[in-house]
Structure 1
């Protein structure tokens, strides 16, 4: 679908370029005295001249409308992509995104350098019961930010549903996993030291 948009955009750019060239040629020819004299020498030639310029101007307007529509379609496409692949609450990849990564290895022998870590935000049910779901959602968001920053340049991380998160390390070494877990521990400790934060 994205390829179709790009192909259509390229076609419209080519169309615009040709239109600009034709307009410049028409304008250049009109500046010649003999052509100008011919155009305004008869009513039929004058009408033909006006019609051609109306068509050129209309083509420019319709091309601008097309570019505007392409831009809107691209924005809508990106919004739909975000809805399909991002968890709306935590803003990190959702279960569907996790499944897409896992499906790459379906019916295949798993490589030795593939690792997976399941992370559970274990006190989320208690927070929902003790406070409310709004507070629980805030805790989920805070923890998702921690996971996302800890995973940077190391692994894929997504929300696997509820209070469960999944980190997948492709082409990984044990050191990457240790770094990831150490980052989480450090960031969770920093979070928990805040007087206004609900502890993770």
Structure 2
């Protein structure tokens, strides 16, 4: 049975149990109290009407609860990446754009543009399932390393954007250090060694729009990625 059918099954079973209990006990009570008197038929009709009204309300409540539950799930996956549970690109950039409109010098906003190194090599050597696991592990580390009000966006593929509120560039660099420490610990017990390249930018009103802001972090990340690859060549 599919997971989405469980809610319907619960409603059906609840209705079946409710109907069985009502019919069995109510008929038994009526039979003992009235037996086959003239009032038995009238009370039986009233009992049936009460059951129809009560069961209709009961089913309405159950169905409404199930629909609301599914709407919440749909809304969640409309704004979140299914694999990592991070905000997806559209929802994440909209949230960041809203924050930038309310920007204040007293509350700096920094972003870390992150790229997972050598994902293609991981996919080619160990399979795409191992590549997916690497992305999930990395995303968990990102979320564990930031404050409650901060958020992580999966831009697509192996690229992420970490948005840090009330954080300057210096603090963002500290967050990167924390992330790298956790990755190093993870690598001790993993057959696939993970690493990231990062670029940091702190918002100022000199940026014309959100694209310029993100592109600056992306440019700095790319510079660090070139450094990473050059180090591999000389290793």
TM-score (norm 1): 0.67
Give 1:184 deviation, angstroms. 0.5
> 157-166 vs 85-94, which deviates more?
85-94
Give 1:105 deviation, angstroms. 4.8
Gaps of 5+ in 1: 1-41
Counterpart for residue 139 of structure 1: 134
Q: Separation in 2 of the partners of 1:197 and 1:60?
A: 59
Correspondent of 1:65 among 52, 59, 62: 59
Question: Which secondary structure does the structure 2 equivalent of 1:117 belong to?
Answer: strand
- The number of residue pairs the alignment matches comes to 160
Deviation string, structure 1 residues 149-179 (Cα, Å, up to 9, x no partner): 1124251111111111011123335565344
The residue correspondences of 1:151-170 to structure 2 (distance < 5 A) are: 151-153=146-148, 155-170=150-165
- Relative to structure 1, is the Cα distance of residues 82 and 105 closer, same or farther in structure 2, using a 3 angstrom cutoff? closer
Question: Which secondary structure does the structure 1 equivalent of 2:145 belong to?
Answer: helix
TM-score (norm 2): 0.58
- Relative to structure 1, is the Cα distance of residues 179 and 55 closer, same or farther in structure 2, using a 3 angstrom cutoff? farther
Q: Separation in 1 of the partners of 2:120 and 2:167?
A: 32
Counterpart for residue 72 of structure 2: 78
The residue correspondences of 1:176-195 to structure 2 (distance < 5 A) are: 176-195=171-190
CA contact (8 A) 2:111 2:172 kept: no
Moved over 4 A (4+): 45-50, 173-176
Residue 129 (1) aligns with residue 124 (2) = yes
Gaps of 5+ in 2: 1-36, 196-235
Give 1:143 deviation, angstroms. 0.7
CA contact (8 A) 2:113 2:161 kept: yes
Deviation string, structure 1 residues 12-43 (Cα, Å, up to 9, x no partner): xxxxxxxxxxxxxxxxxxxxxxxxxxxxxx95
Q: Separation in 1 of the partners of 2:99 and 2:194?
A: 36
Q: Separation in 1 of the partners of 2:162 and 2:41?
A: 70
Counterpart for residue 15 of structure 2: none
- Relative to structure 1, is the Cα distance of residues 173 and 56 closer, same or farther in structure 2, using a 3 angstrom cutoff? farther
Residue 198 (1) aligns with residue 193 (2) = yes
Question: Which secondary structure does the structure 2 equivalent of 1:111 belong to?
Answer: coil
CA contact (8 A) 2:117 2:194 kept: no
CA contact (8 A) 1:154 1:180 kept: no
CA contact (8 A) 2:80 2:87 kept: yes
CA contact (8 A) 2:122 2:192 kept: no
